[in-house]
Amino acid sequence: MRSLTEEETRTLFTKLAVYTGRSLNTLITPAEDGTLSVFRLQGSRVYYVKKDLANLSVSFPRDVLLSMGTMVGKFTKTGKFRLNLTALDLLAQHARYKVWIKSNGVMPLLYGGSVLKAHVARWSAEDAPVNSGVIILDESDNPLGFGVTARGISEMRRLEPTSVVVHRQADTGEYLREEDTLFTT
């Protein structure tokens, strides 16, 4: 387990910034109780861990250590970063754009479907460009997943109710659907 290099940090933050706003600063600054969390790399996976825990991890050999803290995502072999579903909690706290969906859209999403216009209850912003990251929540404010907008929000008003408005990237249904492969290294 090691800390990230400059290049890796930039790649990670660029990806996170798709979904989060300026409040991402709070992730790397110490909390009110003085605890600081850091990003650590183990293999190709990035974990968000409390610093004192991360320091303790030095006592384990790398090949034995499987996981620690919250897994944010992994670096691909081409150097890109893929966000994992487990980062949803982090993202939801600092989301730039949010969409609340009605109860009729929850199950289709959890089975891996996209969000249709008919499912949308409301948007957090008046306008958002196309392909911007958005956190999907149900009506009782539980984060269900994240995705990217298929159209600009202002453009969506003229769409048919059956047209896709958010392309799904990850949803909590994956905990069951991808149970076997979600944490395999």
User: What residues make contact with another protein under the rule CB under 8 A?
Assistant: 2-6, 9-10, 13-14, 17-18, 22, 24-25, 28-29, 36, 38, 127-130, 132, 152, 154-155
Decide whether 106 or 117 has the Cβ nearer to another protein.
117
Decide whether 155 or 178 has the Cβ nearer to another protein.
155
Order across the sheet with 164-171: list the strands: 115-116, 164-171, 143-149, 133-137, 98-101, 120-123
Interior/surface letters 106-141, b for 16+ CB within 10 angstroms, e for the rest: bebbbeeebbbbebbeebeeeebeeeebbbbbbeee
Task: Tell me the closest approach of the beta carbon of residue 184 to another protein, in angstroms.
Answer: 26
Decide whether 14 or 142 has the Cβ nearer to another protein.
14
Contact criterion met (CB below 8 Å) for 173 and 107? no
Q: What is the DSSP letter of 114?
A: P
Task: Tell me the closest approach of the beta carbon of residue 10 to another protein, in angstroms.
Answer: 6
| CA nearest to 69, candidates 81, 54, 90, 55 | 54
Decide whether 7 or 180 has the Cβ nearer to another protein.
7
Decide whether 148 or 182 has the Cβ nearer to another protein.
148
- The helix (run of H) or strand (run of E) holding residue 11 is helix 6-19
Task: Tell me the closest approach of the beta carbon of residue 14 to another protein, in angstroms.
Answer: 5
Can you list the positions of beta strands (E) in 76-132?
A: 81-83, 98-101, 115-116, 120-123
Task: Tell me the closest approach of the beta carbon of residue 9 to another protein, in angstroms.
Answer: 5
Task: Tell me the closest approach of the beta carbon of residue 155 to another protein, in angstroms.
Answer: 7
